[in-house]
Amino acid sequence: MDTEKYSFIARVPDRPGALHPAVDVISRNGGNINRIQFDRRIDPCTVFFEVTSGPGAREEIARGLRELGYLQTALKPQSFLKLSVHIPHTPGALSDFLRFTTAHKANIAQIDFDDRGSRPHILTASLNLGEEEEVTKLLDDLKSRYRMEVLDYDTSGKYLDDTVFYLRFAQSLRDIVGESEDAFLLSLLGDINHVAQELMKRGKDPKTVFESVEKTGRTLKSTCGPGFYADLQNIRLAPDLLLVCIQPPCGGSVFLLDSPGECVMVDTGYGIYYPDICQIIRREVPGALDRLSRIIITHADADHCGAGGLFSVPCLMHAGTRDIILVSNRAYGSRNHESILEEVYTSLINLFSRFSPPRDIVLFPLAGDERVGAFPVLGEVRAGRYRFLVLEGLGGHLFGQIYLYSRDLGVFFSADAVINFDHLTPDRAQYNTLAVNLVTSVNVDSEKAREERQEIFGIVRQANGSYPGGRSECLVCGGHGPVSLLQGTRLVPASPVRRVPGE
- To which H or E segment does residue 471 belong? none
CATH H superfamily, domain 225-501? Ribonuclease Z/Hydroxyacylglutathione hydrolase-like (3.60.15.10)
Give strand pairing partners of 498.
232
- Residue 205 DSSP code: -
CATH of domain 79-154: 3.30.70.260
pLDDT digits (tens, 9 = 90+) for 105-115: 787 878 888 87
Count how many Cα atoms sit within 13 Å of the Cα of residue 7 in the half-sphere of its side chain.
Answer: 19
Q: Say whether pLDDT at 484 is over 80.
A: yes
- To which H or E segment does residue 407 belong? none
Q: Range with the lowest mean pLDDT among 181-185, 249-253, 346-350?
A: 181-185
- Residue 106 DSSP code: P
Q: Where are the alpha helices (DSSP H) in 106-205?
A: 132-143, 165-177, 182-201
Query: Is the distance from CB of 9 to CB of 132 less than 8 angstroms?
Result: no
pLDDT digits (tens, 9 = 90+) for 350-389: 999 999 999 999 999 999 899 999 999 999 999 999 999 9
- Contacts by residues 112-117 (CB-CB < 8 Å, ≥ 24 positions apart): 113/87, 115/89
Q: What's the CATH fold of domain 4-68?
A: Alpha-Beta Plaits (3.30.70)
Same topology, domains 79-154 and 225-501? Answer is: no
pLDDT digits (tens, 9 = 90+) for 274-330: 999 999 999 999 999 999 999 999 999 999 999 999 999 999 999 999 999 999 999
Report domain extents, the chain: 4-68, 79-154, 168-222, 225-501
What is the pLDDT confidence band of residue 450, given thresholds at 50, 70 and 90?
A: very high
Mean pLDDT of 497-503: 89
Count of beta carbons in the 10 Å neighbourhood of residue 189 = 21
